[in-house]
Amino acid sequence: MSRLFPKQIVAPKPLHEMIDYSGKRNGRPFDVETETHTPQGKYTCVHYGVMIPNLPAPFNFLNLLTVVGQPRVKIFRNEHLIKTSSIDTANVLIGTAIGTKDYFNGYSVKNDCALVSNGSSLCFGRDLVLEGTYPNFHAYREGHEFNFDLKITATDKVANFAELTFGLYNHWALLCQYEGYLEYQGKKTHVEGLCTYEYARAIDINLHMNYFTYHILNIDEKTQVLLVEVLGPLNLVLQRRVYIRAIDDHGSIHSEDFKLEVHEFESQRSITPNGLSMRLPRTFSWSVNDEKGKLLMCVDGLANGDFQYGMAGGYAGSYQYKGTFRGQTIEGTGYIEYLDTRTK
């Protein structure tokens, strides 16, 4: 059964643009001078991530999601991991559908990590190494039940999710191609395709968010679609966009008649280690129109039941989808992040 929430409030467009400049940045090539530093100066929290949808079973998806320095934002903060201080606490999610017991861990930045200040080499305990500079990156993990070795080549196609005034918060995602292998219980599986390489940085303020979801769909060998919906207090719409980009296209963003509805939730509530309570989606649909008011894309999704905790303070998983994109039939395995603390 679908669930109803309070009416959503959309802030006037000029107000959005005064607070967040990211909409004006999209469609431009990635600036190679963009910083990817670890926490420093006014920035007390940074995020590095690699997200891969549409993997073969039993994996379904892979995300390498790191947070260095715990954010003030309640729904993204892992308070239970802090042993010394917020800025000394990092966490890493190695998320796939197989869900090994060591997929999520916390670390002391000082004692457990080796992080080069410009972000060119990041080592989190014995769990993850993410290294390289634009456009060539390398992610690997060894000595575990689940391991991988992936070469990642970034394009200049970038989705700018947030660029808040006064540099309060920045977040972007590069369209990348990857190739390598996943290893589970000693068996290696060759993989290749499209993924994202992401970076975010924030100062130590509490941005009030009650709901967040992020989807990645690889439509074909060249084209990738991203969906973001973020709601604040009183269901204020902070962002609602579908980003489209391709190997040979800097892409566009769309929000015309955006609709996302959960039709059925999982029967049991999920309680995070930090005490947040939420229901995760089981079946859902979403759609968006183009600038002429015609249907651009619609998707019906069925969650694979593989949500893993550690997407900051929420969950990441995958879903099977069918739908249409620019009039053509599509299907595949999408990637989803989900976090919802609204009463329901």
In the chain the domains, ranked by start, together with CATH numbers, are: 9-340 (2.40.370.10)
Q: What is the pLDDT of residue 10?
A: 55
Tell me the backbone φ, ψ of residue 167, rounded to 5 degrees. 70, 30
The pLDDT, as a whole number, for residue 27 is: 84
- Measuring CA to CA, how many Å separate 167 from each of 132, 171, 200, 201, 286? 25, 11, 11, 9, 31
Please tell me the pTM assigned to this model. 0.94
Query: How far is Cα 242 from Cα 288, in angstroms, rounded to an integer?
Result: 7
Per-residue model confidence (pLDDT) at position 235 = 87
pLDDT of 101: 82
pLDDT in tens, 151-179: 999 999 999 998 888 889 999 999 999 99
pLDDT-flagged residues of the chain (< 70): 1-18, 343-344
Q: Are 334 and 53 in contact (CB under 8 A)?
A: yes
> Among 209, 190, 223, 185, which residue's Cα sits nearest to residue 314?
209
